[in-house]
Structure 1
Amino acid sequence: MGKDYSICVGAVGFGGGVWHSPDGGDSWNRIRDPFPLGSQVRGMAVYPDNPNRILAGSDHGIYRSEDSGATWEKLWSPMEGMPIWSIAIDPQDTNTIFVGIKPAALFRSKDGGQSWSKLSVQMAQECHIGPPMVTMLMVDPQDSRTVWAGVEVDGVYRSLDGGDTWTHVEGGVHPDIHGMAISPGEPRRVLASTPREIYATTDMGESWQSVVTTDKFVLPYSRGVAFKSDDPNVIFSAVGDTAIGSIGAIQRSQDGGATWETRPLPVEPNSNIWKHRHPRRRPRFRPRLQLAGRGLQQQRRR
């Protein structure tokens, strides 16, 4: 019996593109049109007001699906030929979309993707790994004027005016940002995941404190981080053996990061787990932890 949700996976490497499962992972097909062969899809985002609507960003531009990932259309954008690494949608005004690329730069649309502007934020263009990339974008669900960007390798950027102006916030956080998360409820707590450590700020990035070093985890290389959508004390951390990696795991803390445990998964991952999230509870839907080696979004069908 088919499951009542769809899964979309953004793929990199040979073939690339988007893979779609209409039955919770029981069967899969690769979406070929309109994605060119070899499209590297790293950024995906679900519309907060419509779980059937998804954006996907590749090195060939940005795409949108209206039917949980079964079919896609390409949107015009100035990001053509620029590898897209992250996408965020304003939950209070879903016509406002932010896109982060490599080399590190930010774009914004205020009309649902019909037109775009490059934001005036000066990010590093070179580092020891080559061109930096915007690995994470977040719009605060309680205050959409607050937008966060995490850059690998250039640290954390913050906007307090909806993306018009930006501040490079340092305050002790390692600059190699892999993932970020905003706690539900009060007090506000922002997490930043780096290769060997997870940091937290409670003062909008002015100062950062270490939550945990990953030598306490079953695998040492930290990627994504997420809060449980209805409990700020529950944190999930995605880890792997190395940057590329051949194995992954999920760590969970139920006390705000003081102690951690390894959670069992249905199968053993064959890569570092890059991204994951815990969806908000909605009527008729059961929340599930969502995992991705290279970018995954899980959707509920109508």
Structure 2
Amino acid sequence: MTTVYAALRDRLLVYTNDDDAADGTDADTSGRTATRLEGHDLECVAASPDRPERVFVGTFEDGLFRTRHAESEPTDCEFERLETDFVSDAVTALAISPHDPDVVYAGTEPSRVYRSTDGGDSWTKLSGLTDLPSADEWSFPPRPHTHHVRWLEVDPFDRERLYVGVEAGAFVLSTDGGESWTGRPEGSRRDNHTLAVHPDREGRVYTAAGDGYAVSDDGGESWSHPQNGLEHTYCWGLAVDPGDPDSVIVSSASGASTAHTAERAESYVYRRAGDEPWDRLENRGLPTGEGVVRAVFDTTGEDGVVYAVTNRGLYASEDFGDSWTELDVYWESGLETQAPRGVVVLAK
């Protein structure tokens, strides 16, 4: 069974497919869809394949939610609001450690990072992030008086190594579990939207940022900027092929308004393999171009399998973007005006 949690602006869609194929992308694309947290302003979603019944959702005004208890069917899940003492109720980023599913990280607006070691029951603030020299320059253009943690990632080879994308202003890393921080290492992007790592490539970190794509091979200490063929450099969504750490997909646009605003949307999807130039993926079954906001992606751990959510629906690929299948999700007409906030795919 494959379960997809798609966080849209004002609801969480929970889609399940009972197909025997673990990736859920065979010819039978039918499934069940449920709507949760309708009316909340969603920001992010996270879940671990090691604890698939426990799903976290961050909202902008209502704090952090977690599934109440295990259900036999994911579409039957209910959510409860967690009591936290975060700096605000704006939870803008979530990450679950690949080393221990009970270790969860949350980022907020204004930029703070918190850690739970008991699956979200209690939280500890990781201090010092805003003491970095560059913090006075951090600013989010729509709300220039503040900024937030847009993405969190835990290194799959080192449980103490954390990567943080601050929107907008810095890539930040910690080598000691958040006891201390290093901001803006050499060549790092400033407007990081999505970070990724790969379980088969130690030291590899990827970022899709408003100021372009970048990749590191030394755990974020330094960065290179392979841009050849990437005609739209306001990057947002990012996925790496589980079977090939050198095969990457990004969604991108010419700027923020064409990435996020449905009325002006014009976004594209690019793929890069090894050292080859970026290839724009068009006419592959995944809508791109005029009227389409930037996609968000997730993978299942199966080689070549990737899922995408745009304002047009939910799509899956078994060949890492060569072809896409639209999944049978009830997509109300109003959803075409929304830019998706995040997606998590769990397959078993």
- Equivalents in 2 of 1:25, 1:150: separation in Å? 36
TM-score when scaled to structure 2?
0.73
Of stretches 69-78 and 52-61 in structure 1, the one that deviates more from structure 2 is 69-78
Is the contact between residue 279 and residue 287 of structure 1 (CA under 8 Å) also seen in structure 2? no
- Equivalents in 2 of 1:168, 1:80: separation in Å? 21
Name the structure 1 match of 2:287: 268
- Report which structure shows greater RCO (CA 8 Å, sep ≥6): 2
Could you tell me which amino acid in structure 2 is paired with residue 115 of structure 1?
Answer: S
Is the contact between residue 189 and residue 211 of structure 2 (CA under 8 Å) also seen in structure 1? no
- Equivalents in 2 of 1:54, 1:247: separation in Å? 31
Q: How has the CA–CA distance of structure 1 residues 191 and 22 changed in structure 2, closer, same or farther, with 3 Å as cutoff?
A: closer
Q: Which of the residues 210, 215, 231 maps onto 1:195?
A: 210
Post-superposition shift, 1:299? Answer: 2.9
Q: Which of the residues 81, 88, 91 maps onto 2:98?
A: 91
- Equivalents in 2 of 1:154, 1:276: separation in Å? 23
- Equivalents in 2 of 1:296, 1:188: separation in Å? 25
Structure 1 gaps, min length 5: none
1:117-128 aligned at under 5 Å gives the runs: 117-123=124-130, 124=135, 126-127=138-139
Is the contact between residue 48 and residue 91 of structure 1 (CA under 8 Å) also seen in structure 2? no
Could you tell me which amino acid in structure 2 is paired with residue 276 of structure 1?
Answer: F
Q: How has the CA–CA distance of structure 1 residues 184 and 111 changed in structure 2, closer, same or farther, with 3 Å as cutoff?
A: closer
1:268-287 aligned at under 5 Å gives the runs: 268=287, 270-281=291-302
Of stretches 260-269 and 48-57 in structure 1, the one that deviates more from structure 2 is 260-269
Q: Which of the residues 291, 297, 300 maps onto 2:344?
A: 297
Is the contact between residue 64 and residue 89 of structure 2 (CA under 8 Å) also seen in structure 1? no
1:209-228 aligned at under 5 Å gives the runs: 209-212=224-227, 216-217=229-230, 219-228=232-241
Post-superposition shift, 1:183? Answer: 3.2
Post-superposition shift, 1:90? Answer: 1.1
Name the structure 2 match of 1:152: 167
Post-superposition shift, 1:229? Answer: 1.3
Is the contact between residue 109 and residue 116 of structure 1 (CA under 8 Å) also seen in structure 2? yes
More helix by share: 2
Name the structure 1 match of 2:3: 6
Is the contact between residue 241 and residue 272 of structure 1 (CA under 8 Å) also seen in structure 2? no
Secondary structure of 1:28's counterpart equals: strand
Q: State the number of aligned residues.
A: 284
- Equivalents in 1 of 2:151, 2:169: separation in Å? 12
Could you tell me which amino acid in structure 1 is paired with residue 191 of structure 2?
Answer: D
Matched, 1:70 2:76: yes
User: CA deviation digits over 1:172-230, x for unaligned, max 9?
Assistant: 223111111113323522122222421122233332221216xx335442112222112
Is the contact between residue 102 and residue 120 of structure 2 (CA under 8 Å) also seen in structure 1? yes
Is the contact between residue 298 and residue 345 of structure 2 (CA under 8 Å) also seen in structure 1? no
Q: Which of the residues 106, 117, 120 maps onto 2:113?
A: 106
- Equivalents in 2 of 1:80, 1:205: separation in Å? 27
- Equivalents in 1 of 2:111, 2:295: separation in Å? 19
Runs of 4+ in structure 1 deviating by more than 6 angstroms, as ranges, are: none
Post-superposition shift, 1:150? Answer: 0.7
Is the contact between residue 162 and residue 175 of structure 2 (CA under 8 Å) also seen in structure 1? yes
